[in-house]
Amino acid sequence: MLNKISTLILPLLIITILSWGIVKRQPVYEYFIEGAKDGFGVAIKIIPYLVAIIFAVTVFRASGLLDFITAPIAAFTNNLGLPTEVIPVVFTRPLSGAAALGVFSDLAYRMPPDSYAVKLAAIIIGSSETTFYVLSVYFGSVGIIKFRYALLTGIIADIAGIAIAVMIARLFFY
C-alpha cells in the first residue's frame, strides 16, 4: 500500500500545481520555461564552487588524510556502536554527497550488504546533510559570505543525525 502511495505522490503533486495554475489563469508553461532559464544561470554560477568541493574531497581521500584521522579514534567509536569501516562515511558526508556515496559503495562492495556497518552507513547517508557542500555551492551562488551560524547549525545537525542513526541502527540491526 505504501509503495503505491509513494509512486503516486509526485504525479499528483505535478497535476495539482498545473491545475492550480490553470484555475488561477496563470501562464504555467511560460513560468516553467522562465524557471528553467534561471536554473541554467544558477548552474553556470555554481560550477567553480562544485569544482572546488570535488577537488577538496578527492584530495582528502587520495592523500590518506581520511585514514590518518580514522585510525586514532577507531577504538572510541567502536565502543559507541560506530564501526571503524563507517568512519570514512561520517567524515565525507558533510563534504560531498557523491564522495560519501562513493565511500559507501566501496564499503558495501567490501562487506556483506546485510552487515551492521553497511546498514549503519546507509542510515547515516540518509540522516545527515552535505553541510560544507551546501555552504560552498548554494551560499556561494547567491553571494552569502558570512555563514558562521549556518555552519555551526549544520555541524550540530550532522552530529545529531549521526548519533540518532547509530541509535536506530543499534536498536534494529545490532
Quick one: pLDDT band at residue 100, thresholds 50, 70, 90?
A: confident
Q: Is 8 among the domain residues?
A: no
User: Is the pLDDT score of 3 beyond 80?
Assistant: no
The count of domains in the chain is: 1
In the numeric block, which cell numbers belong to residue 20? 492550480
| 120, 121, 127, 129 alpha-carbon torsion, rounded to 10° | 160
Tens of pLDDT, residue by residue over 149-160, are 989 999 999 999
Beta-carbon count within 10 A of 19 CB? 11
Tens of pLDDT, residue by residue over 142-151, are 888 888 898 9
Question: What does the alpha-carbon distance between residue 58 and residue 71 come to, in Å, rounded to a whole number?
Answer: 19
Q: Is 108 among the domain residues?
A: yes
Question: What does the alpha-carbon distance between residue 113 and residue 94 come to, in Å, rounded to a whole number?
Answer: 23
Quick one: pLDDT band at residue 117, thresholds 50, 70, 90?
A: very high
Whether the model pTM is above 0.85:
no
Beta-carbon count within 10 A of 99 CB? 24
Q: Where are the beta strands (DSSP E) in the chain?
A: none
Quote the pLDDT of residue 116: 93
Q: Is 14 among the domain residues?
A: no
Question: What does the alpha-carbon distance between residue 96 and residue 109 come to, in Å, rounded to a whole number?
Answer: 20
* Helix residue ranges, H only, 65-96: 65-79, 87-92
Q: What is the mean pLDDT of residues 86-115?
A: 86
117 touches 83 (CB < 8 A): yes
Q: Is 16 among the domain residues?
A: no
Beta-carbon count within 10 A of 53 CB? 23
Q: What is the mean pLDDT of residues 2-13?
A: 84
Q: Is 146 among the domain residues?
A: yes
Domain coverage including residue 140: 45-173
What three-state secondary structure class fits 25?
coil
Q: What is the mean pLDDT of residues 70-91?
A: 85
User: Is the pLDDT score of 53 beyond 80?
Assistant: no
What three-state secondary structure class fits 147?
coil
- What is the 8-class DSSP label of residue 84? G
Quote the pLDDT of residue 146: 84
| 138, 140, 146, 149 alpha-carbon torsion, rounded to 10° | 20
